[in-house]
Chains A and B, each alone.
Chain A
Amino acid sequence: MSDTVKLTIDHMDVEVPRGTTVLEAARELGLRIPTLCHLEGVHQQGVCRVCVVELEGRPNLLASCVLEAANGMRVRTNSMRVLRARNTVFELMLSDHHKDCLGCDRNTDCELQELAMHLGVDAERFAEDLAAPRMLDISSQSLVRDSGKCILCRRCVSVCEQVQTVGTIGVQERGSASSVAPAFVGLGDAVCVNCGQCAAVCPVNAIFERDHVHPVEEAIIDPAKHVVVQTAPAIRAAIGETQGMPAGSLVTGQLVTALKMMGFDAVFDTNWSADLTILEEGMELLARLKRAVADGDSSVALPMMTSCSPGWVKFLEHFYPDLTDNLSTAKSPQQMLGTVIKTYYAQNLGLQPEDIVVVSVMPCTAKKFEASRPEMTDSGVRDVDYVVTTRELGRMIRKNGLDFANLPAGEFDDPLGRSSGAADIFANSGGVMEAALRTVHEVVTGRELPFANLHVTDLMDIEGVREVAVTFEDVTEDYSWLEGVTAKLAVTSGLGNARELMDRVSSGQAEYHFIEVMGCPGGCIGGGGQPRPTTDAVRRQRFAAICAEDEGKPLRKSHENPLIDRIYADFLGEPNSHKAHELLHTHYVARDAY
């Protein structure tokens, strides 16, 4: 059997590999069949029927996105029948859609609008006739659902159930009464980890992040408030996309300048607290290993697992509540910095925590939930007040009229703005592990992590589960108990992968010392709050930008950051000190999975 098939599409011959869909085969011919629900690698179910074609010998029109090309097929993509059917499908969709484009956050970034342009449809023709009353679900700290905008494409259902294996939302009822919703309650009370992957794939404004832009704007205007902003590692490699720049543009300097021009009183870097996290988490790992290896204490919770991704943390709390002791007690960098700003920094300035508003810019919708957790108030008030996503910051930059790409490069403010390259790679899946190893290996052996360019081979990537083993040799005296010990490590991203890994860990099939999990596929560079679209190609471009930022830094290891030394000397004492525990560590809760 030959590996290719030959068919004709609109009278043109084309030969494509077996297994290709008619939609893809048409693309080979430079023919763009319109699609809407189809999303490569995520959702391929032929739901919306926008992409129908006529196949000779078949009475019904067929969805080309799920129709496999076969030898001898004669396909028409532009016959009268096809065009009529396509327009009818689209008309029905539009009549059941709340079309307030001018007031809609997706205006000019909307796949339904794009389709309208492609089809040349005059939206004014279609009166609105919502089949069911419009429902706004504002129960979640992270996300809002607007049923009036939902076109029932089901991408969100696929990503939530298949990619993330959470299954929060599904299609309820049927026919004109159908809706995409959780089982009984709003998103905020359902089993949802707030990862925002649903919002990232939604073609319209039917699932989106809960707005924090307006309260931030008000805080900036309020003269009584000292408003401080922090930006996550992944923002510098993605915010450019919201301003028309290509994926993978590294724009750290413009980002800082934009934030200063918007009127923030200080611009700090979540990277700084990523370095701090490495010191706290690295020392915690060594302490756990010591109890297990040197003291033979079998009650130690190993493998230790990273705790910086709030989607992952809530996933574990829901589905593996028995493993929450394995999570590092170290807070995420966002929360560490919030606490440090409202304690150490506030004291230096003679301010009360109430006078300060901490805003963070995150690639993540789950960070909004994390900031709202009752545990996150160690400064005496809420440690992080508002969290805007990369997309929300993009909107703010536009509102401020900034010509982003051409802004001069700015510098983060001291004392919470400088960071090592190890902090940058927190944005990439595998980066937290690598950053921890750069420090832990050097602390234990006195020598640099023995890998070319400090990158552990095959650790950072956007796919699957990666495992590495690192053996400690010629250790320093303090760590003689680690001599010859091989640390087994695993890294993954995306909650479907995490579930597989956790099933192996909890059944005892796999044994590790340390595991890094990021809730979103690829890590924070693919977060649920990042610019749309986030395809694998885009993930890889952002990934490379982050690696370039790391490699371009004079300091590549967290423990070399002089400003981290300074806060331990001035304020915290030493890593895992009593004070550090009070301010920088947290605890977790067990939650129900149904």
Chain B
Amino acid sequence: MTPGNPLKIAAQGCHCEELSEEQKFERLDEILAIYREQPGSLINCLYVAQTIFGHLPDPVLAHVARRLGVPTARVTGVASFYSFFSRQPRGRHTIKVCLGTACYVRGGREIMEVLVRDLGIKAGETTEDGQYTLEVVRCVGACALAPVVLGDDETFRRVRPTKVSEILARFAPSATPSAAPAPVKEVV
């Protein structure tokens, strides 16, 4: 069988959110089977796993190690090295606050404080209802427009603390609010 491009296989028609845990592991196994014999494919496999599961919980990392025959410590090492990978569950929406020098001195810190208070989480965390992940970034190259907040793909400039609630409202809870994902258990 020609593998095709497993990355595409994983991403296309995945509808991963609708899959059960077991189906997600099955889906992952199909891809891992293709990669098993190819050395140096760990990053690709983790990419696929994150696409399927939304993030990389420990049982998924252990599963990738087992199926690829790679030591678990190496798998977690790679997953924690690249900022692209997330070992924590992510919300539907990601709010990033710039705390680069320009943004920081022009009010970024206050904006962060408001977000921390309103969302009830710290930077790097996700709200319990699974809606928002809050993150810090360091300079996104828009210093003239500081302070800057990014909401998913949208950029908000010269944000005042009083405007934070408006920004959050744009990413209002979607029609189908989902509770925080249940903890994943490895299916062997």
Contact = CB atoms under 8 A, between A and B. Distances in A.
Interface of A: 161, 166-174, 181-184, 190-191, 593-594
Interface in B114-151: none
Interface in B28-80: 58, 61-62, 65-66, 70-77, 80
Contact of A184 (B66, B71, B72): B72
A183 B71 CA distance: 9
A54 B71 CA distance: 37
Interface in B69-94: 70-77, 80-81
Contact of B74 (A161, A174, A181): A161
Nearest to B67: A594
A161 B75 CA distance: 13
B81 A183 contact: no
Interface in B153-168: none
A174 B80 CA distance: 7
A173 B80 contact: yes
Contact of B71 (A167, A171, A172): A167
17 contacts: A161-B74, A167-B70, A170-B71, A170-B73, A170-B76, A171-B77, A172-B73, A173-B80, A173-B81, A174-B81, A182-B72, A183-B61, A183-B65, A183-B72, A184-B58, A190-B73, A191-B71
A184 B59 CA distance: 10
Q: Which 7 A-B pairs have the closest CB atoms?
A: A167-B71, A170-B73, A183-B72, A170-B77, A183-B76, A594-B66, A183-B73
Query: For B62, B72, B74, which residue has the most chain A Cβ atoms within 10 angstroms?
Result: B72
A169 B72 contact: no
Contacts of B70: 167
Given A167-B74, A182-B72, 11 more contacts: A161-B71, A167-B73, A170-B74, A172-B77, A183-B61, A183-B65, A184-B76, A190-B73, A593-B66, A594-B65, A594-B66
A168 B73 contact: yes
Given A183-B61, A594-B66, A172 B80 contact: yes
A166 B74 CA distance: 11
A244 B182 CA distance: 59
The interface centre, meaning the residue of B73, B74, B76, B81 with most chain A CB atoms within 10 A of its CB, is B73
Contact of B72 (A171, A173, A174, A191): A191
B32 to A, nearest CB: 13
B65 A172 contact: no
A166 to B, nearest CB: 7
A182 B73 contact: yes
Nearest to B71: A167
A88 to B, nearest CB: 23
B77 A168 contact: no
A594 B81 contact: no
Given A173-B80, A173-B81, A183-B76, A168 B62 contact: no
A191 B65 CA distance: 12
A190 B65 CA distance: 13
Contacts of B71: 161, 166-168, 170, 183, 191
A320 to B, nearest CB: 13
A172 B76 contact: yes
A123 B148 CA distance: 43
Of listed A182, A183, A184, A190, residue having the most chain B CB within 10 A: A183
Contacts of B76: 170, 172, 183-184
Contacts of A173: 80-81
B92 to A, nearest CB: 26
Contacts of B61: 183-184
B58 to A, nearest CB: 5
B183 to A, nearest CB: 13
Contacts of A168: 71, 73
Contacts of B72: 167, 182-184, 190-191, 594
A167 B70 CA distance: 8
Contacts of B73: 167-170, 172, 181-183, 190
A329 to B, nearest CB: 30
